Structure 1
Amino acid sequence: MTAMAYEPYPSDDVLLEGFLALQTPEGFKAELIDGEIIVSPPPGGYHERAISQVNRQVMRNSPLEMDFSGNRGLVLPSGGRCPKNHVIPDGVFAPAALDLFGNDMPYMPPDDVALVVEVTSTRPQSDREAKRCCYARARIPLYLLIDRDRHTVTLFGDPEADDYTTSHSGAFGKPIDLPAPFSFTLDTTDFV
């Protein structure tokens, strides 16, 4: 009789299949980040206020017309056990001319995404570290992290390998410059 090898973790295929088959309650979102399935409750009002403020300012001030999505997932390369990460950023901006949102798929590739935005909530370390690395691996040029616990806004740029090589942070209320294609100064006063 041959002994069967025991795998303490499900195989990548089984994990991905199980993740894609999840049926989360309405308003909840499920993400697969470096082999871990994370289910988050619906966001609160302060969380949504920050996203709304960023969206409004980008639409009003960006010289390039942008599309915005707060519900589309991204399929990102992995550096961990999972072959692909499936994340749902709080906000995704892409040049409108590219029509990235012009299909009915729940997840899209990150190609040509100009900026992702995350507001910390129930798992802030995921936004600060795991998601930041995922976005950098996907070569998304800009990552804006609104950290409600620390009362800071950080713009990460220049992705290389598993992280961003530049970052600019400031306390809520301090403006932060968004480079091209946005080319304006983001007002963070109402992020509290």
Structure 2
Amino acid sequence: MAVMTHEPLSQEEILQEGFLALGVPDGFRAELIEGEIVVTPPPNGHHESCINRIVKQTLRLAAADLDFSGHRGIEIVPPTGPVHKLIPDGTWALSEDDVFPSDEPWMPVHLLVMVAEVTTKRADRDRAAKRRCYAQGAIPLYLLVDRERSQVTLHAEPEGGDYREALTYPFGKPVPLPAPLSFDLDTSGLT
């Protein structure tokens, strides 16, 4: 009888398998961020109101025809380091790229033009770890609505595992969004 030998799984492979087998209650979301499994409860109404205000403006005012998805899983495979599986509060892609109909639970990021997060009780994760993950995925724009600090930060120009540019605006000031969005985001309703 032949004995089959298997290569032992790496720490990252074990983490990936555990993450994919994880069951979470309805409404909760599980993400794999910088080698850590993170489970968060459903967002509150103010959180969803912030995303809703941004979505309405982007779909109505953007220069390009955009598609939006809320809470769609994205997979980021950096050149080095662990794979990230994130579920942004919002993802935008050009409509012509048709990225959302896929049956795959984790979509690739190469066609996305912007992701957005609205901070929760663990705002530091959105400010740092998720920012680095999105930059590693070369997502052109990362919009962070920081409710704790009452400000919006637009991260742009991903390079070397982070964004080279970060412009911060207090709630109430317009945020100029570059092409393909090409409009000023009204932040007055985010308070």
TM-score under structure 2 length normalisation: 0.92
In the alignment, the residues of structure 2 paired with residue 100 and residue 78 of structure 1 have an alpha-carbon distance, to the nearest angstrom, of 20
In the alignment, the residues of structure 1 paired with residue 181 and residue 27 of structure 2 have an alpha-carbon distance, to the nearest angstrom, of 30
Question: Which residue number in structure 1 is paired with residue 51 of structure 2?
Answer: 51
Contact 1:68 1:91 in 2 (8 A): yes
Question: Which residue number in structure 2 is paired with residue 163 of structure 1?
Answer: 162
Identity percentage over the alignment?
Answer: 47
Amino acid at match of 1:154: T
In the alignment, the residues of structure 1 paired with residue 13 and residue 58 of structure 2 have an alpha-carbon distance, to the nearest angstrom, of 38
In the alignment, the residues of structure 1 paired with residue 152 and residue 130 of structure 2 have an alpha-carbon distance, to the nearest angstrom, of 16
Contact 1:77 1:134 in 2 (8 A): no
Question: Which residue number in structure 2 is paired with residue 7 of structure 1?
Answer: none
Question: Which residue number in structure 1 is paired with residue 88 of structure 2?
Answer: 89
CA offset digits 1:15-61 (Å, max 9, x no partner): 10000111100000000011100000000011001100110000110
Question: Which residue number in structure 2 is paired with residue 33 of structure 1?
Answer: 33
Question: Which residue number in structure 2 is paired with residue 130 of structure 1?
Answer: 129
Paired residues for 1:111-150 under 5 Å: 111-150=110-149
Amino acid at match of 2:73: G
Unpaired runs of at least 5, structure 1: 1-9
Pair 120,79 (structure 1): closer, same or farther in 2 beyond 3 Å: farther
Q: Which runs of 4+ in 1 moved over 3 A?
A: 78-81
Contact 1:40 1:122 in 2 (8 A): no
Over the residues paired in the alignment, what is the CA RMSD in angstroms?
1.3
Amino acid at match of 1:44: N
Question: Which residue number in structure 2 is paired with residue 70 of structure 1?
Answer: 70
Tell me the CA shift for residue 72 of structure 1: 1.0
Question: Which residue number in structure 2 is paired with residue 6 of structure 1?
Answer: none
Tell me the CA shift for residue 122 of structure 1: 2.6
Unpaired runs of at least 5, structure 2: 1-9
Amino acid at match of 2:47: H
Amino acid at match of 2:130: K
Number of aligned positions between the proteins:
182
Tell me the CA shift for residue 80 of structure 1: 7.5
Contact 1:34 1:80 in 2 (8 A): no
Tell me the CA shift for residue 77 of structure 1: 2.5
Paired residues for 1:4-19 under 5 Å: 11-19=11-19
In the alignment, the residues of structure 2 paired with residue 39 and residue 61 of structure 1 have an alpha-carbon distance, to the nearest angstrom, of 34
Contact 1:135 1:143 in 2 (8 A): yes
CA offset digits 1:126-180 (Å, max 9, x no partner): 1000010011111100000000100000001011011111111111111110000
